[in-house]
Chains A and B, each alone.
Chain A
Amino acid sequence: MKRQSVRGTRLALIAVLTLVSSAVLPAGSFVFPGVEFSSARLDAMGGVHVALADDISTLFSNPAGFRQAGPQLAVSELTLHLSGPVFSIADLMLRVANGESPTTLLSDPKVSSLLTSLHASAGLNGPLSFGYVGNGLGFGFFNSSDVTFETEGTLPTVTTTVNENLMFVGGYAFGIPLPPSLDSTLDLGVSLKVSAQGSVVSDQAISTLLSSPNLSILSNAPFDLYVGLGVDAGVLYTWNKTLSVGIVGRNLYAPVMKNSYTRLTSFGGSAPSVSYGYTPLDLSAGILFSPRLGLLERYITNLKLMLDYSDILDFVTHASTATNPVLHVGLGAEVVVLQILALRAGFNEGYFSAGLGLNLTYFSLNLTMFGSELSTEPGLHPVYNLLVGLVFKY
């Protein structure tokens, strides 16, 4: 028995070292953060929770959840994601539309202050959002588009980034038989992601951008096309349908190829310069508690409380951009009122989140507000996020 235990420990150690080394000793030279798809539901509950497996978003959180989740078929999605001081920017755009000159605008102290540390983006998830999850199988095709404006310093230059993202993800989860007396399930899952991101980045003086906004600014900017693979594997243990514990290793092997073109219009016309990189391993763990509510279940159901610690090994896998440990903690809660209205709240990256979901027969309508941190320290560079979306699912 003791020999078996030692052998098990050795195997576990070898497995851990293999996982870590695959991320620490990558073949490529640059680090690509990976293509991510925001979810109005998850963002309202403090981000991704690896022990939560009940809808199509399980495709991105933990492949071991493909047995518990669904069955659910997602047909399409339209989710608008706004980030940054959206109301100040809306005011600025109204002033530009009313004919106020860039010089007058930039001489306004409020506008100057806004532009010294601006991070604003607008994105759309979908319309391509087709996927299935259930009975151990999970697959999906997704797309998203976003544009981001960033400035820094008193004499700002605006960096405009336009991204188009595509992803296919598919995988399988299988159950490990456990004695019925344990009243538990143990699932293992693995998935493969293939992603592509087209990215255009342009730097312009703010006065130029305000006085003559022109799409040629982007068409003449350099264009990068990232194509990547990613292998995820996870474990999900559930006791009495009440308590779940999940662990997932995302991007266990995730090489990325970057094709760089001198300008967007050169895409397809000239040969790109090619370089290779990787997306770092993200090892995350979480716990979910879903208590039974007794008589209260006439009115409120599906109470879920979640706690996660994400990207546990960031100090090893991407040490220079490793964030403060408190930013890894995610807390989330959800409850469904009268079978139709989902109320959500959370705490992630040091900021609060909240949201509503209206679950109708063929689609759900979600509204989410949350804060997120752009830097490696809590409170250094917060950004406000607003998501409104429709998800069509059956």
Chain B
Amino acid sequence: MKERRNLRAPITLWILLVLMVLAGCQNIFTYTPLKGLQRDPSTLSSEQRLVYAQDALASGDRNAMLAAYNAIKTDTSPDAVHLTAELGIELSAVPALVNDAITNQSALTGSGTTVADYIASHPGTDPALMIAGGQSINALAGAGYPVTPNDRLLGAIGLAMNAAQTVNSSYDLSGVPVANPDIAAAILLIAPLVASGDTFAASLNTYLNNPAR
């Protein structure tokens, strides 16, 4: 029994050592000396640019996303418009606020950090990209393009921000009427999510439908 006890410490140390070595390897094996040889997306064909844009979005690399956004923003095909909207929304940095709200770290629709507070305290955000993305998602959904639930949620927030900017010249929704065309469009955009029981979409819907917000 004593011998077995004595073995535990070295075995644990060996396991820890192996895990540390493997974890270190992760950085070594995901390093490439060829990164500088990436092609400029603007030099690719239109089909290749869309594939690059999808890759950039999946990579989480903001520089690549910006390069992809600039490369496809003038392409008017539905797939390109959709990807431009998704890249723009991601680059706007506003989705981080929505993520905080979903995980109950802040309140998007009540007291605490609102969209206006968040934008004011985060100089890196670009509300114009969020609004443009929301408008594109709304147009695509209206034309029957298969947008995702996240597209609908973020698109609705982009539309609401446009309503606030138009009425109040700020990103504060106080006093913006429910009948405002952008608010109405946002409510319509998230209606399928509300119907499917999405709790965050339901709270956003209640907030947008509340004339006293």
Task: State the A residues within 8 Å of B (CB).
Answer: 85-87, 103, 106-107, 112, 116-117, 119, 150, 152-155, 157, 203, 205, 207, 319-322, 324, 326, 350-354, 369-371, 373-386
Residue pair A112, B99 in contact (C-beta under 8 Å): yes
Known: A155-B154, A379-B34, A379-B35. 11 other contacts (CB 8 A): A119-B58, A152-B58, A153-B86, A154-B90, A207-B103, A352-B28, A375-B58, A381-B55, A382-B30, A382-B32, A384-B25
Residue pair A319, B26 in contact (C-beta under 8 Å): no
Q: Which B75-131 residues have C-beta < 8 A from chain A? A: 86, 90, 95-96, 98-100, 102-105
Residue pair B29, A152 in contact (C-beta under 8 Å): no
The answer to whether B47 has its CB under 8 Å from any CB of chain A is yes
Q: Which residue of B lies closest to A382 (CB)?
A: B30
Q: Which B5-41 residues have C-beta < 8 A from chain A? A: 19, 22-23, 25-26, 28-35, 37-39
A376 to chain B, nearest CB (A): 6
Decide yes or no: A152 and B57 within 8 Å by CB, A106-B103, A321-B51, A371-B31 being known contacts.
yes
Q: Find B26's partner among A85, A112, A380 (CB 8 Å cutoff).
A: A85
A residues near B99, Cβ cutoff 8 Å: 106, 112, 154-155
A residues near B45, Cβ cutoff 8 Å: 319-320
Q: Find B32's partner among A117, A350, A385 (CB 8 Å cutoff).
A: A350
A321 CA to B55 CA in the complex, in Å? 10
The answer to whether B189 has its CB under 8 Å from any CB of chain A is no
A378 CA to B30 CA in the complex, in Å? 10
B residues near A381, Cβ cutoff 8 Å: 55, 58-59, 61
Q: Which residue of A lies closest to B92 (CB)?
A: A154
Q: Which residue of B lies closest to A381 (CB)?
A: B59
Residue pair A380, B64 in contact (C-beta under 8 Å): yes
Among all A-B residue pairs, the 4 with the closest Cβ atoms: A117-B60, A379-B35, A375-B55, A320-B47
Decide yes or no: A369 and B22 within 8 Å by CB, A353-B29, A378-B32 being known contacts.
yes
Residue pair B149, A326 in contact (C-beta under 8 Å): no
Chain A CB within 10 Å, residue with most, of B34, B86, B96, B153: B34
Q: Once A and B bind, how many residue pairs between them come within 8 Å at the CB atom?
A: 133
Residue pair A207, B102 in contact (C-beta under 8 Å): yes
The answer to whether B169 has its CB under 8 Å from any CB of chain A is no
A residues near B100, Cβ cutoff 8 Å: 107
Decide yes or no: A374 and B55 within 8 Å by CB, A154-B96, A157-B149, A207-B102 being known contacts.
yes
Residue pair B59, A386 in contact (C-beta under 8 Å): no
The answer to whether B48 has its CB under 8 Å from any CB of chain A is yes
A103 CA to B101 CA in the complex, in Å? 11
The contact string, 1 if C-beta is below 8 Å from chain A, for chain B 57-73, is 11111001000000000
Decide yes or no: A319 and B48 within 8 Å by CB, A87-B19, A350-B32 being known contacts.
yes
A353 CA to B103 CA in the complex, in Å? 39
A85 CA to B57 CA in the complex, in Å? 18
Q: Find A376's partner among B51, B96, B154 (CB 8 Å cutoff).
A: B51
Chain A CB within 10 Å, residue with most, of B26, B48, B55, B96: B26
A residues near B74, Cβ cutoff 8 Å: none
Residue pair B29, A369 in contact (C-beta under 8 Å): yes
What are 25 inter-chain pairs, A to B, with CB distance below 8 A? A103-B104, A154-B90, A154-B98, A154-B99, A155-B98, A157-B148, A203-B148, A319-B45, A319-B47, A319-B48, A352-B29, A369-B29, A371-B32, A374-B59, A377-B38, A377-B55, A378-B32, A378-B34, A378-B37, A379-B34, A380-B59, A381-B58, A382-B32, A384-B25, A384-B30
A residues near B29, Cβ cutoff 8 Å: 351-354, 369-371, 384-385
B97 to chain A, nearest CB (A): 9
B residues near A380, Cβ cutoff 8 Å: 38, 55-56, 59, 61, 64
Decide yes or no: A87 and B38 within 8 Å by CB, A155-B99, A384-B30 being known contacts.
no
A379 CA to B45 CA in the complex, in Å? 20
The answer to whether B203 has its CB under 8 Å from any CB of chain A is no
A353 CA to B28 CA in the complex, in Å? 9
A222 to chain B, nearest CB (A): 13
Q: Find A87's partner among B22, B37, B47, B154 (CB 8 Å cutoff).
A: B22
B182 to chain A, nearest CB (A): 20
B residues near A119, Cβ cutoff 8 Å: 58
A298 CA to B22 CA in the complex, in Å? 32
Residue pair B103, A103 in contact (C-beta under 8 Å): yes
A383 CA to B104 CA in the complex, in Å? 31
B32 to chain A, nearest CB (A): 4
A321 CA to B38 CA in the complex, in Å? 15
A155 CA to B149 CA in the complex, in Å? 11
B104 to chain A, nearest CB (A): 6
B residues near A326, Cβ cutoff 8 Å: 34, 37
Q: Find A351's partner among B19, B32, B59, B98 (CB 8 Å cutoff).
A: B32
